[in-house]
Structure 1
Amino acid sequence: MTEDLARLVWDTARLLTRTFESRARGLGVTREQWLALATLARHEGTNQVHFAQIMEMDAIGLCRLVDRLEAAGLVRRERDAADRRARRLYLTQAGWARLDRLRPLAQALGADLGAGIGEADLATARAVLGRMMANIARSGLPDEGAGS
């Protein structure tokens, strides 16, 4: 029973990702870039190492993502006054503008996701999914060296 539910959640997440990417394509942004912009908006001025942790990415992957966002003029790196090796990340004016254009897209996708579902059922779904996430988090990540 829970395997079917896990598959349904997984399939829903994949469809949500594909749908968002399809809709955002016209704005020239991938889901990963949108997530980075939205996350950076909440954590402006953070350094790249901390931002990689927040984004749950390795340092190299995040660096490539930030390189693309910087090349597009959406993000800027500034030297950290306290640590010359570190760079702090900020959205540019163009980055804020792009995020403003993406928010309605994300809101519309959320509305589509919840269409025809009552608020009580949505609240129950949020609570159940939150508990499931906590259960998975509590079970811990498998040891990367296990099975080798």
Structure 2
Amino acid sequence: MSDNSRLLRRLFDERVRDLGLTAAQARLLLSLDHFPDQNQCFHADRLEIEPITLTRIADRMEEAGWLERRSDPADRRARILHLTGKSRDIVDKLQSTVEHLFEDTLRGLSATERDTLGKLLDRIGENLARAREQEPVHG
């Protein structure tokens, strides 16, 4: 699984680079599209990067006009990230890129095999999440 994940990530990186984005920028734009109105900490956690790293990425993307920050009405210290009109076209291209990537990845699998694979991966994800919750805290 690890090897396949690495290969998939590498292919994703190559394809989004063709759109003029880094993988981190592409992942952030997709996250903003799927989870609007969330603050920077939410997206950092979702992308599994440090909040300061996300802040640096967001700084560059805001300067380029790809996203904007607004105050969080629920927490004045937090900022909510929003897509801009400029980023809409690129998000559509990213979604198309991801769809093609999945098609390339699943080529040769029947609809039944794809469904079974999806269910198995969901179960593995649930098992991993449950195992992580049961981990003893060290420290």
Short-chain TM bin: 0.7 to 0.9
Query: Residues 84, 134 of structure 1: CA spacing in aligned structure 2 closer, same or farther, 3 A cutoff?
Result: closer
**Given the two structures, how large is their TM-score scaled by the length of structure 2?**
0.86
- State how 1:17-96 maps to structure 2 within 5 Å: 17-81=9-73, 83-96=75-88
Residue deviations 1:63-120 (CA, integer Å, cap 9, x gap)? 1221222122111012234544322211011111111122221111111011111011
2:95 corresponds, among 87, 103, 110, to: 103
Max radius of gyration: which structure? 1
**2:115 equivalent to 1:123:** yes
What percentage of residue pairs aligned between the two structures are identical? 35
Unaligned runs of 5+ in 2: none
The verdict on how the C-alpha distance between 1:74 and 1:144 changes in structure 2, with shifts beyond 3 A counting, is farther
Query: Which amino acid is the alignment partner of residue 71 of structure 2?
Result: R
Q: TM-score, normalised by structure 1?
A: 0.81
User: Cα RMSD (Å) of the superposition?
Assistant: 2.0
Structure 1 regions of 5+ residues with no counterpart? Answer: 1-8
Residues 20-70 of structure 1: per-residue CA shift (max 9 Å, x gap): 111221211122221211111122222223333333332212212212221
Comparing 100-109 and 116-125, the one that deviates more = 100-109
For each residue in 1:115-148, what CA deviation from the matched residue of structure 2 results, as whole angstroms up to 9, or x when unmatched?
11101111111111111111111111655746xx
- Cα distance in 2, alignment partners of residues 68 and 145 from structure 1: 37
